[in-house]
C-alpha cells in the first residue's frame, strides 16, 4: 500500500466544513430539480460551452445538460469518500507522528473546499444553462466564473501555504 508507513489518525471535520458540504449538495440537487422541471421548455440545442465573457460558443443536444449534474454528484461522492482517508494523500512535507494530525486536517479541509467550490460551480452552470436553454437568459452572469476560479486557486494556495507552516 502506498504510504503504509504513515500514521492513521481519525480527523474530526469541523462543523463549517460539514455545513459547506451539505449546502453544495443541496444546491446541486436544486439545480438538477430545476433542470428536470424545465426539461419541456429547453430548446433541442442548448449551450454546452462558454467563453471567458460568458457567451455561449459551443452547442449540443439538450440531453447533454444532464452531464454536469451527474459529474457533480460523482465528484461530490468521490471527494467526500477521499476526505475519509487523508493518510493516502500526497503531501509536500514528510508526515510524522508529530505533524500527522495537523497535516491530515489541512488536507481534508483542502479537499472539502475544492470539492464544494467545484460542485457549486457545476450547480451554477447547470442552472444558468437551463435558463439559457429555455430562452430566459442569453449569457452566463458576468464575473461569476472569475470569482469561482479566484476562490478555487486562492484557497488551494492558502492550504499549500498552511501545509508548510504546519
- The pLDDT, as a whole number, for residue 2 is 67
**How far is the C-alpha of 26 from the C-alpha of 69, rounded, in Å?**
12
- The pLDDT, as a whole number, for residue 116 is 97
Query: pLDDT of 96-131, one tens digit each?
Result: 999 999 999 999 999 999 999 999 999 999 999 899
Task: Please enumerate in sequence order all residues whose Cβ is within 8 A of that of 65, keeping only pairs 6 or more positions apart, or say none.
Answer: 35, 42, 46, 48, 126, 129, 130, 133
**How far is the C-alpha of 98 from the C-alpha of 63, rounded, in Å?**
51
Confidence of residue 3 (pLDDT cuts 50, 70, 90): low
Q: Write down the domain spans for the chain.
A: 15-165
- The pLDDT, as a whole number, for residue 14 is 96
Query: pLDDT of 14-59, one tens digit each?
Result: 999 999 999 999 999 999 999 999 999 999 998 888 887 788 888 8
- The pLDDT, as a whole number, for residue 98 is 92
Please, are residues 140 and 149 in contact by the beta-carbon 8 Å criterion? Answer: no
Amino acid at each position: 500500500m502506498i504510504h503504509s508507513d504513515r500514521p492513521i489518525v481519525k480527523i474530526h471535520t469541523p462543523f463549517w466544513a460539514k455545513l459547506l458540504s451539505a449546502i453544495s449538495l443541496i444546491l446541486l440537487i436544486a439545480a438538477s430539480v430545476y433542470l428536470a422541471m424545465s426539461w419541456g421548455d429547453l430548446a433541442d440545442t442548448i449551450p454546452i460551452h462558454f467563453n471567458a465573457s460568458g457567451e455561449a460558443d459551443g452547442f449540443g443536444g439538450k440531453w447533454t445538460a444532464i452531464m454536469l449534474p451527474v459529474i457533480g454528484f460523482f465528484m461530490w461522492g468521490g471527494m467526500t469518500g477521499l476526505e475519509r482517508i487523508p493518510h493516502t494523500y500526497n503531501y509536500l512535507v514528510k508526515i510524522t507522528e508529530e505533524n500527522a494530525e495537523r497535516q491530515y486536517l489541512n488536507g481534508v479541509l483542502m479537499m472539502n473546499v475544492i470539492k464544494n467550490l467545484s460542485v457549486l460551480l457545476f450547480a451554477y452552470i447547470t442552472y444558468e444553462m437551463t435558463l439559457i436553454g429555455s430562452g430566459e437568459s442569453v449569457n452566463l452572469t458576468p464575473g461569476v466564473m472569475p470569482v469561482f476560479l479566484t476562490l478555487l486557486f486562492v484557497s488551494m494556495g492558502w492550504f499549500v501555504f498552511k501545509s508548510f507552516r504546519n
